[in-house]
């Protein structure tokens, strides 16, 4: 599971990814030299679009390095500077650094701070500020900002800019489990982006509709909408979104009790996540792959997948919130194999870490598995204690 096997000729996405990384050093040199001698707005805009391509590929480390130079080079252009900071916020969000994501653009919260910016920069900032507040737990503020933007754009006759606002509202309402409202905004975003032809917007809209379907139990319909999102991406280098889509398709298959199909989707998700800088997403993929492999009795493969998950999760943060979940899966597998002492060791570590992180849900899951382990070991008193 740890090895990558050469599968033959490289895909267009792999070639594109390599080119992006290879070109990065040259791009930084160009930007530094331009920062000293001046640079055209058109050139800065091209650099910004290159950064967006890197974010599509999940190459957040490279994107942030490039943005450092871009921000320095665009001091004379407030709008491109603002859009660059917006891209920085997105890259931090993708790495789950939500406080830093908000900090990167917090200076643009007031309308006065955005007064001299282009409409594109103004709208992009309001959308990203709302998303950042959402992921920092301030959902009312996120909704208020977005609805204010919606009202102002409608009143000023700028309906052509409504799509990203609709998509952001869908994300926020999905975060607070308001799935019918979320689906409605995703549908509005889809209708908008069909007119503009923005492929990123169309993919996000179908993703939002599919996610709402899945959360409401319409798993077959969810898979159909995810397939539409995949078709829109086509051969574009978009590893990050492709990984998310395939991982969610595997989740739908879990509820449909189709583990073999789910395994195929997870293997695809992992293949894309491994090309990105998002080790945490890859760790989740391997953990879910291990769980599905346990279901079909392929315990050796499951152990390999879960070991890989633990390695990746520990590299992100050895005491982070992902690790207890993976330890619980390993404990469950060892219990099934009759290795009860090893199972108990994994599960006790899982409980301790989950409690340290304040994650009651993971702690509950691990305590439940630990109770089953104690029953298998004949310790009914400990099993009852863990159950309570």
Q: In angstroms, rounded to a whole number, what is the distance separating the alpha carbons of residues 385 and 388?
A: 5
Q: Is residue 31 very low, low, confident or very high in pLDDT (cuts 50, 70, 90)?
A: low
Contacts of 152 by beta carbon, 8 Å cutoff, 6+ apart = none
Q: Is the pLDDT confidence value at 39 over 90?
A: no
pLDDT digits (tens, 9 = 90+) for 274-309: 999 999 999 999 999 999 999 999 999 999 999 999
- Considering the chain, what is the average pLDDT of its residues? 90
The mean pLDDT of 195-202, rounded to a whole number, is: 94
- DSSP designation for 10: P
Angle at 144 between CA 142 and CA 149, to 5 degrees: 100
Say whether pLDDT at 33 is over 70.
no
Topology (CATH) of 14-113: 1.25.40
Mean pLDDT across 328-342: 96
E strand spans, the chain? none
More confident residue, 385 or 48: 48
Q: Residue 17's pLDDT is what?
A: 46
Rounded distance between C-alpha atoms, residue 73 and residue 348, angstroms: 52
Q: Identify the band that residue 384 occupies on the pLDDT scale cut at 50, 70 and 90.
A: confident
Contact 49, 34 (CB under 8 A): no
Instruction: Report the pLDDT averaged over residues 206-210.
Output: 98
**Smallest Cα–Cα separation from 125: which of 141, 110, 144?**
110
- Summarised one tens digit per residue, pLDDT across range 110-136 is 999 999 999 999 999 999 999 999 999
Which residues of the chain form CATH 1.25.40?
14-113, 320-388
The second-level CATH assignment, the architecture, of 320-388 is Alpha Horseshoe (1.25)
Q: How far is CA 122 from CA 147, 181, 388, in A?
A: 15, 25, 53
Token reading at 196: 């503009």
Can you give the pLDDT at residue 11? 46
Report the half-sphere exposure of 328 (CA within 13 A, side-chain side): 25
Q: What is the 3-state secondary structure (H, E, C) of 188-228?
A: HHHHHHHHHCCHHHHHHHHHHHHHHHHHCCCHHHHHHHHHH
């Amino acid at each position: 599971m740890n090895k990558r096997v050469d599968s033959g000729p490289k895909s267009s996405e792999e070639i594109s990814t390599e080119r992006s990384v290879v070109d990065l050093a040259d791009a930084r040199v160009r930007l530094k030299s331009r920062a000293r001698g001046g640079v055209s707005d058109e050139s800065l805009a091209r650099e910004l679009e290159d950064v967006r391509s890197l974010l599509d590929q999940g190459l957040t480390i490279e994107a942030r390095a490039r943005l450092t130079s871009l921000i320095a080079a665009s001091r004379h252009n407030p709008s491109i500077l603002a859009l660059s900071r917006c891209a920085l916020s997105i890259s931090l969000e993708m790495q789950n650094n939500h406080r830093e994501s908000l900090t990167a653009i917090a200076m643009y919260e007031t309308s006065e701070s955005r007064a001299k910016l282009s409409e594109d920069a103004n709208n992009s900032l309001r959308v990203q500020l709302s998303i950042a507040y959402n992921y920092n737990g301030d959902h009312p503020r996120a909704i208020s900002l977005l609805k204010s933007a919606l009202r102002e754009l409608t009143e000023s006759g700028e309906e052509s800019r409504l799509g990203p606002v609709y998509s952001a509202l869908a994300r926020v309402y999905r975060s607070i489990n308001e799935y019918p409202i979320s689906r409605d905004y995703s549908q509005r975003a889809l209708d908008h982006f069909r007119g503009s032809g923005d492929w990123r917007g169309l993919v996000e809209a179908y993703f939002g509709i599919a996610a709402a379907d899945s959360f409401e139990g319409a798993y077959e319909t969810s898979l159909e909408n995810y397939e539409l999102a995949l078709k829109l991406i086509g051969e574009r280098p978009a590893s990050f979104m492709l990984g998310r889509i395939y991982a969610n398709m595997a989740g739908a298959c879990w509820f449909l009790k189709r583990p073999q199909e789910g395994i195929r989707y997870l293997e695809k998700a992992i293949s894309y996540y491994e090309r990105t800088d998002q080790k945490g997403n890859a760790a989740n993929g391997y953990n879910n792959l291990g769980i599905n492999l346990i279901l079909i009795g392929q315990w050796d493969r499951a152990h390999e997948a879960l070991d890989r998950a633990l390695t990746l999760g520990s590299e992100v943060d050895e005491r982070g919130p992902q690790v207890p979940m993976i330890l619980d899966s390993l404990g469950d597998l060892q219990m099934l194999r009759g290795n009860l002492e090893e199972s108990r060791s994994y599960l006790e570590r899982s409980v301790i870490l989950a409690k340290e992180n304040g994650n009651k849900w993971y702690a509950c899951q691990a305590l439940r598995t630990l109770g089953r382990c104690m029953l298998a070991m004949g310790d009914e008193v400990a099993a009852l204690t863990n159950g309570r």
